[in-house]
């Protein structure tokens, strides 16, 4: 079977063999983008345009043996770097690309009417429902986003912060976001694109002006997302790196330097010598842009064990030890359900669940601290931990 990238939703591009991945990396394309073409560098005689692996209605299609053979001969020229290059430096990472419809080039189908918020909600849902096991739920995530994709990622993380269901697992697991040409503060080129968009309505049905308006300078949606995202950055648990484009497109810098940076103290910055489209494409592992992006991702990967250690250290502090004295004792057997099979606490104590942290989540005043004190002081907790310690290698 040929290699297929789904036009909509998540596609696994690489998965480590013989063991659990250490990290999930998710690529999110931007306006008029494609989950494969956006990240593919081509130097073929037809320029850098690559035929999408989709039908007219946006569904994934399989290549014929002849097409695969031709693609094989072109491999040195057509480089899909998330699949072809990134695994060579991050072999223990599971790599995804995610697609969504913000283009207007589907001549025979209506463009999606989804807003940025709805795209963000869908990204969150797709990723959260894929990461189902306890190990997957806590596995670190890195997002790599191009153009409008960066706004979608930021909004998804803001949504995750306020969710009380499985969608809320994504933000705590996210360790970094790498932005490429993302208009954090809007883009001067957006008004020009809007004019072109209006002209295209003559040929296409019902294009999505709602999404394009997000790129306007001083957009209320853009300000809301950026403001909420900066609050997340102030917590200090998330790393971000923003790359700006150094070259113009048809005489216009689509996202200028000012717009491409969040200007937050926790943000690191860089420049890639390319235009807005090519800032997301690399021809080889020797490409200076790939080295810069790769070094950022490798640094975040190496920081993950340190972040976990800091998290555990913060959990053990004098204030927490004093506070447990103020937590009321429970009535006998009130929280005995903690040791029932359905909540997995006993399996976690026995080491049957790989995650090193057992999360107790709930609304304020619902009894989380009381439940934790019950578990901490219960004799069965100590017995199971000692049992696990005796059988561990």
> Whole-prediction pTM value?
0.71
Are the CB atoms for 247 and 275 separated by under 8 Å? yes
For domain 9-308, which CATH number applies: 3.40.50.1820, 3.40.50.360, 3.40.718.10, 3.90.1640.10? 3.40.50.1820
Q: What's the whole-number mean pLDDT along residues 191-207?
A: 42
Stronger pLDDT, 379 or 71, i.e. the higher one: 379
CA distance 315 to 335: 22
Tell how far CA 100 is from the center of its chain.
Answer: 14
The pLDDT value given to residue 222:
74
Largest CA distance in the chain: 77
Could you tell me which of 303, 216, 300, 226 has the C-alpha nearest to residue 263? 226
The pLDDT value given to residue 57:
37
CA distance 267 to 301: 17
* DSSP sequence for 156-204: HHHHHHH--SGGGGHHHHEEEEEEES--TT--TTHHHHHHHHHHHTTTS
* Proportion of the chain above pLDDT 70, given as a percent: 68
Question: 160 pLDDT exceeds 90?
Answer: yes
């901490």: which residue's tokens? 376
368: pLDDT confidence band, cut at 50, 70 and 90? confident
89: pLDDT confidence band, cut at 50, 70 and 90? very high
Interhelix angle for 368-377 vs 318-326, to 10°?
A: 100
At a CB cut-off of 8 Å and minimum separation 6, what does 18 contact?
none
* pLDDT single digits (tens) 103-124: 554 433 445 556 778 899 999 9
Q: What residues does 26 pair with on adjacent strands?
A: 96, 143
186: pLDDT confidence band, cut at 50, 70 and 90? low
Question: 94 pLDDT exceeds 60?
Answer: yes
164 SS3 class = coil
Domain boundaries, the chain: 9-308, 323-391
4 token code pair: 């297929």
41: pLDDT confidence band, cut at 50, 70 and 90? very high
124 token code pair: 């969150």
The pLDDT value given to residue 56:
33
């Amino acid at each position: 079977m040929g290699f297929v990238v789904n036009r909509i939703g998540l596609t696994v591009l690489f998965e480590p063999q013989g063991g659990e991945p250490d990290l999930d990396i998710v690529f999110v394309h931007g306006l008029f983008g494609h989950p494969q073409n956006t990240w593919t560098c081509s130097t073929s005689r037809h320029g850098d345009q690559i035929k999408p692996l989709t039908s007219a209605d946006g569904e994934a299609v399989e290549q014929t043996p002849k097409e695969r053979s031709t693609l094989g001969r072109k491999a040195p020229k057509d480089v899909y770097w998330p699949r072809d290059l990134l695994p060579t430096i991050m072999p223990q990472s599971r790599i995804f690309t995610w697609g969504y419809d913000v283009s207007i080039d589907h001549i025979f189908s209506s463009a999606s009417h989804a807003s940025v918020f709805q795209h963000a909600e869908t990204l969150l849902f797709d990723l959260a429902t894929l990461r189902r096991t306890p190990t997957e739920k806590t596995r670190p995530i890195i997002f790599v986003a191009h153009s409008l994709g960066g706004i979608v990622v930021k909004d998804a993380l803001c949504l995750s912060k306020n969710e009380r269901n499985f969608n809320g697992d994504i933000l705590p697991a996210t360790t970094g976001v790498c932005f490429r040409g993302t208009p954090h503060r809007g883009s001067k080129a957006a008004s020009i694109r809007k004019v072109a968009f209006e002209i295209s309505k003559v040929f296409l049905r019902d294009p999505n002006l709602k999404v394009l308006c997000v790129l306007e300078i001083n957009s209320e949606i853009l300000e809301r997302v950026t403001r909420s995202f900066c609050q997340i950055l102030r917590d200090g648990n998330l790393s971000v790196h923003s790359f700006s484009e150094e070259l113009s497109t048809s005489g216009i810098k689509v996202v200028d330097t000012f717009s491409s940076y969040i200007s937050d103290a926790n943000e690191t910055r860089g420049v890639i010598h390319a235009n807005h489209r090519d800032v997301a494409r690399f021809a080889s592992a020797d490409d200076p842009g790939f080295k810069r992006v790769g070094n950022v991702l490798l640094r975040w990967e190496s920081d993950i064990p340190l972040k976990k250690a800091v998290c555990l250290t913060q959990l053990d502090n004098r204030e927490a030890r004093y506070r447990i004295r103020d937590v009321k004792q429970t009535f006998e057997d009130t929280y005995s359900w903690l040791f029932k099979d359905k909540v997995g606490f006993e399996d976690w104590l026995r080491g049957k669940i790989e995650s090193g942290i057992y999360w107790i989540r709930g609304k304020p005043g619902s009894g989380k601290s009381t439940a934790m004190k019950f578990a901490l002081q219960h004799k069965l907790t100590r017995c199971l931990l000692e049992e696990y310690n005796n059988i561990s290698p």
